[in-house]
Amino acid sequence: MIRTSRRLADGREILYFDREPVARDATDPRDLPPVATHSQLRWDALLGEWVAIASHRQSRTFLPPADECPLDPSRPGRPTEIPESSYEVVVFENRFPSLATGVERDVPPSAPGDPVAELRPGFGRCEVVCFTDEHDRVFADLGPDRARLVVDVWADRTEALGAIDGVEYVYPFENHGEEIGVTLSHPHGQIYAYPYLPSRVEKILASARRHRERTGRDLFADVVAAERSGPRVVGSNEHWTAFVPAAARWPYEVQLFPVRKVPGLPALSEEERDAFVDVYLDVLARFARRFDRPMPYIASWNQAPVREGREDWWLHLQLFSLLRAPGKMKYLAGSESGMGAFITDTNPEDVAEQLRSVVVA
């Protein structure tokens, strides 16, 4: 993999990733104002969680026509976020980030009128990952070679962002489908570098530690061992297992675990990366063909924190859809949004059987 770093007109970094040497010399001709990020982190003292306040994102691009997509390659008279006329995989700093390394650092100690609501600068980094220069493709149709390049890019960015002083967690993810909240239809994902541990990560670490104290065993290892031969397996190979979790929160949810315990994407071997692509593309194809139209989904990498708890963590990908039946979405209504208490509309064992039965060839 070859990485080429360039700068956009407003100073943001753009990185081109290629499998073979390619001259990447195009410049950004746009007259862009400097990026101004006014994010803050505010502490929710009742829940013990950080909340990012990023009101400047209200002006971000929202569902433009296909011929005005800012993630397409540039063409004569139509400059975009990517100056080159073609590309394989591109990563660039988000123009409307919720977290940024150049954020204003001088913030009050607490929110107005609430001394327990601690304030911090909205420090971090938000990157966009474009999987292909073809506007109408989706990840499921990338093919093994391009999908493998994306895996290598995720690993590369995990190492680079984790090396930034003050970053505690690196989170690659993809939102797919307008129902999920996608505002640009071009096939792309994002990577967030947080200056704190997200609440999901803290909860999982706490569960792993309690399990070890109570049983002396590794919680992740127990889950993988049980699910690898259980009734909820959707697909597997020598290095990976994809299964519907026993207590799935989402109507259609699959978790992909490597057989070998590794903390994050950079630790995967060449063979494990190849094997992941095989299983992942198969599962995505099943999501695409389960109903009469492809499911919207979120693909969420769960990696070890940059520092804390790495020895307890087991890398995995959580893939889930809010679609519970054709034309019917699972909305996070009163119980889920108000109390965080999930009520699932599907049975995990049935979902696994349905996905296994999908014809993907």
pLDDT in tens, 182-205: 889 899 999 999 999 999 999 999
User: For the segment 237-260, what is each residue's pLDDT rounded down to a tens digit?
Assistant: 999 999 999 999 999 999 999 999
Q: Poorest-confidence range of 17-26, 54-63, 238-247, 316-325?
A: 54-63
63 pLDDT higher than 70: no
Q: How many CB atoms are closer than 10 A to CB 207?
A: 13
Report the chain's mean pLDDT, rounded to a whole number. 95
Q: What is the rounded CA–CA span in Å between residue 170 and residue 124?
A: 10
Burial class (CB in 10 A: 0-12, 13-18, 19+), 268: buried
58 pLDDT higher than 80: no
Catalytic residue positions, numbered: 188
62 pLDDT higher than 70: no
- Give the pLDDT of residue 224: 96
45 pLDDT higher than 70: yes
Give 252's strand partners. Answer: 321
Task: Average the pLDDT over 107-123 and give the result.
Answer: 92
104 pLDDT higher than 90: no
- Give the pLDDT of residue 219: 98
- 3-class secondary structure, 304: coil
- Give the pLDDT of residue 361: 76
Strand 316-321 relative to strand 252-258: parallel, antiparallel, unpaired? Answer: antiparallel
* Strand order across the beta sheet in which 40-44 lies: 49-53, 40-44, 114-121, 110-111
Q: Which domains does the chain have, with CATH numbers?
A: 2-196 (3.30.428.10), 200-357 (3.30.428.10)
- 3-class secondary structure, 354: helix
